[in-house]
A = this chain, B = another copy of it.
Amino acid sequence: MSGGQTVEEFKAEREALNEIVMEYAGLPIKRFYGLDARVYRDGALPRKTKELIGLVASLALRCDDCVKYHAIGCKETGVTDEELDEALSIGLVIGGSIAIPHLRRALKAWDELKG
Q: Which residues of A contact B (CB under 8 A)?
A: 1-3, 14, 17-18, 20-21, 23-29, 31-32, 35-36, 38-40, 43-45, 49-50, 52-54, 56-58, 60-66, 80-101, 103-105, 107-108, 110-111
Given A39-B90, A53-B90: A24 touches B85 (CB 8 Å cut-off): yes
Residues on B with C-beta less than 8 A from A26 are: 82, 85-86, 89
Q: How many copies does the complex hold?
A: 6
Q: How far is the CB of A74 from chain B (nearest CB, A)?
A: 12
The answer for the CA separation of A104 and B21 in the assembled complex, in Å, is: 6
Asked if A58 contacts B94 (CB within 8 A), the reply is yes
Which residue of B is nearest A38, CB measured?
A: B28
A34 to chain B, nearest CB (A): 8
Specify which chain B residues have a CB less than 8 angstroms from the CB of A57 in the assembled complex.
Answer: 53, 56-57, 60, 90-91, 94-95
